Structure 1
Amino acid sequence: MIFEMRTYSFLPADLPKYLKHAGEVGRSVRGNDYGVNCGYWTSEFGRLNQVWHLWRYESYAQREELRTKLSQNRDWVDGYLPVVQGWVRRMDIRIMNPHAPFVPPQDAGNVYEYRYYRCAVGKVGNWIGHFKEALPNRQKYSKIVGLWQTEIGQPNEVSHLWVYPDLNARTEARARLGEDESWREFQRTGRPYLRELNNVLLQPTNFSPLK
């Protein structure tokens, strides 16, 4: 199984137009017939005026097959793409291998945090190994949705998706986590493998599977 995180960047005036057309046309045309949509968000803090959407495929071969079929869907090619092409200023993709089960939350009304770290060359596996050892304790403060290593798009990158009931809950969880000595020990152990840390806070769209 592989995952693909797609990130589209917009000018402020174009983002609402894209979301309207994606919700009314794009999702109905594509559905889950060309890859399973796991989440569809807008960025709230961090990088602005972006849409992030996560897709799941059984394999690289299936992704190639389904993307080819999508490019032959006339409703997609003639009815969707020509409308949104002028609004999208930049597109980025990450093809990612999972290192933990994908666990969607059961409730709605959440906010999400996507954290993506660049590691020293050849050290992603080392960091992930230490992180997975620390993960049971880390999840006392908030729940992880997914953990991945990027294979295509961003080399030497690991990313993880977290869910919170709201922004206040995130602030409180991060504060309590910072006081946890076992987490501090993990940070000391994992820090030598890291070169860059980034995050973005994500708000689900009204058509996102993850709410």
Structure 2
Amino acid sequence: MMCALRSLLLKGKLPVAPARSDVTRSVQAKATFATGSRQHDTTLYEFRTYSIKPSVMNAYMELTKENFHLRMAHSEMVGFWTYELGGLNKVFHIWKYDSFTHRSAVRAKLAQDKSWQENYLAKALPMIEKQDNEITYLVPWCKLQKPEKEGVYEMVSFQFKPGGPAVWGASFQAAISTHVNTGYTKLVGVFNTEYGLLNQVHVLWWNENPDKRAAGRHLAHEDARVVAAVRESVRFLDNQRNVLLIPAPFSPLK
């Protein structure tokens, strides 16, 4: 047996294992192009933003309040909000799916649900001027939190320079952590966009009311730890935007 293997090796018919240094260089090369922690959890969150015709905003919300249970019967809704500041006549909702396969199955069932189609969708679509959606993941270091009482929500969207979390992730996490540690606000979730604008992160915060949020922000801006962390993170930032959101009566997150 050994003679046969030796003969094949001499004839060049057996593959030769790469030298250890070659393997090491290959691993290092792959690490150079890595963009952050691999996404092992398939759970995804779809962000939907609808612009409603101003003249029918109240009618749209009443129709939605009466019929949205038909949609919620098909998959889990995280929350539903109306824009208060940073935009007008807009609604924003988040849907949770186990995977892309799960989302496709839900969408297929919705298309066959006559009650949903006739009682809600056919009436709501003429009221909507524009629809946008994004697919996001929770960042690995954040779990979705549910506030213990009702309040208002602030969505802050950060557009970072290209490169992914490997470039700006650590600095951004540090900046978020310092804000959490001030205690004036509650972190609900941090979402990294997968489909939509890349290198974009949405941070959802909860505050008891807008005045307490404003007071807390003023104090945070005087905190040396927050100032230092933000100064480091902003080096990777292109722009940011925030909106104040009011939860709808039927929203799971109040």
TM-score (norm 1): 0.93
Q: Which amino acid aligns with 1:131?
A: F
Note the alpha carbon deviations across 1:48-94, whole angstroms, 9 max, x for none: 11000111111122111111111111111222111011110000111
Report sequence identity in percent: 32
Kindly report the root-mean-square deviation, in angstroms, between the aligned alpha carbons of the 2 structures.
1.3
d(CA) in 1 for partners of 2:168, 2:225? 16
Structure 2 spans left out of the alignment, 5+ residues:
1-42
State how 1:55-204 maps to structure 2 within 5 Å: 55-99=95-139, 100-108=142-150, 110-139=151-180, 140-204=183-247
3-state SS of paired residue (1:121): coil
Is the Cα contact below 8 Å between 1:123 and 1:193 reproduced in 2? no
Q: Given the alignment of the two structures, is residue 12 of structure 1 paired with residue 49 of structure 2, yes or no?
A: no
Distance 1:125 1:210, change over 3 A: farther
Deviation at 1:131, TM superposition (A): 2.6
Greater C-alpha Rg: 2
The aligned residue for residue 83 of structure 2 is 43
Distance 1:87 1:29, change over 3 A: same
Deviation at 1:129, TM superposition (A): 2.2
Is the Cα contact below 8 Å between 2:178 and 2:229 reproduced in 1? no
Is the Cα contact below 8 Å between 1:124 and 1:158 reproduced in 2? no
Is the Cα contact below 8 Å between 2:162 and 2:199 reproduced in 1? yes
Q: Which amino acid aligns with 1:191?
A: V
Is the Cα contact below 8 Å between 2:82 and 2:91 reproduced in 1? yes
Distance 1:123 1:28, change over 3 A: closer
Distance 1:47 1:105, change over 3 A: same
3-state SS of paired residue (1:41): strand
How many residue pairs get aligned? The number is 208
3-state SS of paired residue (1:115): strand
Deviation at 1:40, TM superposition (A): 0.7
More strand by share: 1
d(CA) in 2 for partners of 1:124, 1:201? 26
Moved more, 86-95 or 180-189: 180-189
3-state SS of paired residue (2:112): coil
More helix by share: 2
d(CA) in 1 for partners of 2:145, 2:51? 27
d(CA) in 2 for partners of 1:13, 1:107? 32
Which gives a bigger RCO, structure 1 or 2 (Cα 8 Å, sep 6+)? 1
Is the Cα contact below 8 Å between 1:10 and 1:90 reproduced in 2? yes
Distance 1:191 1:134, change over 3 A: closer
Structure 1 spans left out of the alignment, 5+ residues:
none
d(CA) in 2 for partners of 1:124, 1:118? 12
Is the Cα contact below 8 Å between 2:78 and 2:93 reproduced in 1? yes
3-state SS of paired residue (1:206): coil
d(CA) in 2 for partners of 1:186, 1:84? 44
Q: Which amino acid aligns with 2:97?
A: Y
Note the alpha carbon deviations across 1:7-35, whole angstroms, 9 max, x for none: 0001222111111111101x22122x322
Q: Which amino acid aligns with 2:76?
A: V
